Structure 1
Amino acid sequence: MFTGIIEEIGRLEAVRRQGETLVVHLAASKVTGDVKLGDSIAVNGVCLTVVSFSERAFSADVMPETYRKTNLHELKIGEPVNLERAMSGKDRFGGHLVQGHVDGVGLILERRREQNAEVYRIKPDNPDLFRTIIPKGSIAIDGISLTVVEADGETLTVSIIPHTLEQTVLQYKQPGARVNLETDVIGKYVAHLLQLGAPASTGAPKRELTESLLREHGFA
């Protein structure tokens, strides 16, 4: 589990590819300070397992599911990446619940200045993600805990303060770049419980998500 508060920017030093699998070797300094084999480190928001490490680098495997669902296979040697160690029980919870299980990739359509903030407009590859993306809700973009400003079913916007921009790889991202998206885990569970109706195995009839159904279960 992660919080979406990026600890440092690392860099991709080497990558070994075979089909839809990767072994990535990443330069880092802070996240390797107390690392152990088998530890989890989020790389651009993707939870990866450390398989080898040194004082200033670590390696991790990328399996086919992760290859297909994230932007890790698009990284080039030398490219910066967001890094965050798994949270510990004694840390402050500065962001939101982030699993490191990326739901899909989005395309940056626009980046504009709004006084002291940078506003990004992003179009997810999969519009179904909007079932769990709501204005003022939480979203992780390349592992960064952010608040959704607008969501219209096709694109979403986020507004980023200078400190977050300086401490993350979003400072380098321009329109045309692709970013990893993880929607709010609480929203995903609520949507799962309410969607489509009862499982077919129960024999109960399907029920559509309507205002009356929400009222019946105390949500409205």
Structure 2
Amino acid sequence: MFTGIIEELGTVKRAVHQGNTIELTIASSKVLTDVKEGDSIAVNGVCLTVTHFNHAEFTADVMPETYLSTSLSKIKPQSKVNLERAMPANGRFGGHFVSGHVDAVGTILRKIVKENAVYFDISIPTEYRYLLLDKGSVAIDGTSLTVMALDDDKITVSLIPHTRNQSVLGEKKIGDQVNLEFDMLAKYIDSMVNKKPKQKNADLEILLKDNGFYS
């Protein structure tokens, strides 16, 4: 579990591609202060498992499903990446509930400066539109942001100077891809509301028919 509050910007030292997999080695400092093998670290919003580490870098594997469904497939050495450790049980939620499981990849359509803010228009797949709410939460490359405006196929978000300086979004340009994770609570509610009837209801109807309760 993550919160979407980026702890530091890491730098990709190595990205070893083999088919639809990558072995990533990322230089960092803050997220390594208490790291252990098997820990989870979100890299641009993607939950990855630490396989090796030392005082200056850690390594994690990107499996085929992650490679094909996130923007990590395009990662290169020297790329900057957002990093966040999994939240401790006694931590504070500064952002919102973020799982590190990317739902879709969007594209930056527009980037404009308005006084102390930078506005981004980002494309979204239309099939996920129902999971978004005006002034609701969305994680973009792992950064917890508020939806400022919402259309059928795009959203608008705004970055304050701190977020612009402390996350990869500040460096991204029109045409760049970003990882999108939609609000976890919205997905759970949708799953509960649209859950199919349990099989036992059909079995009960058959039992009643067999015993003469239905003609």
User: Could you say whether these structures have the same fold, taking a TM-score greater than 0.5 normalized by the shorter chain as the test?
Assistant: yes
Partners in 2 of 1:194 and 1:137 — Cα distance?
19
State percent identity of aligned pairs.
50
Deviations 1:100-126 (A, max 9, x none): 0000100000001122111100002x2
Superposed CA deviations along residues 174-206 of structure 1, whole A, max 9, x for unmatched, are: 1100000000000011122223x6348455xxx
Residues matched between the structures, number: 202
What is residue 178 of structure 1 aligned with on the other side?
177
Larger Cα-atom Rg: 2
Provide the TM-score with structure 1 as the length reference.
0.88
Aligned residue for 2:2, secondary structure, equals coil
CA contact (8 A) 1:131 1:191 kept: no
CA distance in 1, matches of 2:179, 2:172: 12
User: Please, which moves more after superposition, 18-27 or 177-186?
Assistant: 18-27
Cα distance in 1, alignment partners of residues 88 and 18 from structure 2? 34
Cα distance in 1 between the residues matched to 2:7 and 2:198: 45
Amino acid at match of 2:27: A
Runs (5+) with no aligned partner, structure 1: 204-220
1:99 aligns with 2:65: no
Cα offset, 1:59, TM superposition? 0.3
CA distance in 1, matches of 2:179, 2:134: 19
Distance in 1, matches of 2:172 and 2:22, equals: 23
Q: Deviations over 1:8-66 (max 9, x none)?
A: 00011111112111111111111011100000000000000000001010000111111
Q: TM-score w.r.t. structure 2 length?
A: 0.90
CA RMSD in angstroms, aligned pairs only: 1.5
- The 2-side partners of 1:11 and 1:199 are apart by 48
Q: Secondary structure at the match of 1:36?
A: coil
Q: Distance in 1 between matches of 2:18 and 2:139?
A: 28
Q: Distance in 2 between matches of 1:188 and 1:176?
A: 28
Helix, strand or coil at the partner of 2:31 = coil
Q: How does 1:120-199 map to 2 (within 5 A)?
A: 120-124=120-124, 126-195=125-194, 198-199=196-197
